[in-house]
Structure 1
């Protein structure tokens, strides 16, 4: 898929974000209270810090409050940039991780030829951010990540294993739309977008709140193929 193909596909898709950012604006700090244990996310972050050179530039895509990933990467001495669609999450992240730079942005704005250009990165982290997109958009988002990475750049991501597409769920007193894949399908989508999967982990996770059911979390550590 060429850069012009990605731009044309985004124009045709016209992404719908209605209600998504507003839910997280309202949730704020309660997100970290509901998901206090992030072993899988921290482990993938440790893999990233061990694989990158000091001073590497890293994008935290869908950074949320900045905890733990932006903080973990900034503490490791990397040049961290975080983006999130939620204004409140960006505000919280700026307070928790002053060493990083945060922007209120939609991933679609960073597409090849899109309205915002943050430059290129040695690594991208996308923990539970792609699941906020409809399945039709996820391959475009992955190609955008590929575009944002330098040749051979690293990509760590997580998804919840589920066969759903733009499915409405109750979440911390609000309603959000989520998508997911079964394990083999997720691998196929990632590899088709131009990534080599070099490590895979999974965790059964029970959030610390009643209206969010237990989930199977999948973490993939990848490298951009050129």
Structure 2
């Protein structure tokens, strides 16, 4: 299993750091509006369970959350009870069955580009019904760039919006919406985030 020591170290600080999550909450609300419970959603990089897993669970949606950080999963179990939370590599999903939708909010950032396209193709094969996909990334153009995030060293990946759309389309999806928003990700640090909605073809 690929480990994520950065998020084991960051833990609860992750939730406390976020100043603006309005856009992610709006994305969760849109997804709920597209689903008919008991729908099944895969939350890739579920983290602490906030806000998305809890939002979906509160709406009667079944959530399977995958994360590489045991510390974050422990938080998810407390903060978003009722989900099925799995400590495993984000790329290890083949045995999880079918889903009506998959969400990856700021989790693909932690993967190298070479692994994102195969993962998207795998996801496409496991989607049923509405076959919805939502991705949030940070705007950029780099692959496994070493950074320090909240005091923890890690490496991050980002795409320009058009390139992200092409990657998603090549994996068998139709892009429904692609937006850039500016958000205060940490106190006094603004970043541009990309939110993408897609549907399996």
Report the Cα distance in structure 2 between the residues aligned to 1:164 and 1:199, rounded to whole angstroms.
23
**SS of the residue 1:207 aligns to:** strand
Check if 1:216 corresponds to 2:192.
yes
SS of structure 1 residue aligned to 2:143: coil
| Aligned match of 2:168 | 190
RMSD: 1.5
Contact 1:40–1:202, Cα closer than 8 Å, also in 2: no
1:89 maps to which residue?
A: 72
Structure 2: how far apart are the matches of 1:77 and 1:110?
Answer: 23
Structure number with greater Rg is 1
Structure 1's unaligned 5+ residue stretches are: 1-14, 112-116
Count the aligned residue pairs. Answer: 201
The match for 1:24 is 7
Is it true that 1:205 corresponds to 2:183 in the alignment? yes
Q: How does 1:29-44 map to 2 (within 5 A)?
A: 29-44=12-27
TM-score under structure 2 normalisation? 0.95
1:57 aligns with 2:40: yes
124, 135, 143: which one pairs with 2:113?
135
- Structure 2 CA distance for aligned equivalents of residues 150 and 105 of structure 1: 23
Kept in 1: contact 2:54–2:80 (CA 8 A): yes
Aligned 8 A contact 1:57 1:121 in 2: yes
Query: 1:118-172, CA deviations, whole angstroms, 9 ceiling, x for partnerless residues?
Result: 1110111100011111111111121122122115411111111101110011100
The structure where strand makes up a greater share of residues is 2
Indicate if the aligned counterparts of 2:63 and 2:84 stay in contact, CA closer than 8 A.
yes
- Alpha-carbon distance in structure 1 between the residues aligned to 2:125 and 2:11: 30
CA contact (8 A) 2:19 2:187 kept: no
- TM-score (structure 1 length as normaliser): 0.85
Confirm whether residue 106 of structure 1 aligns to residue 86 of structure 2.
Answer: no
Counterparts of 1:98 and 1:108 in 2: how far apart (Å)? 24
Q: 2:144 aligns with which of 162, 166, 189?
A: 166
In the aligned structure 2, how far is the partner of 1:157 from the partner of 1:184?
14
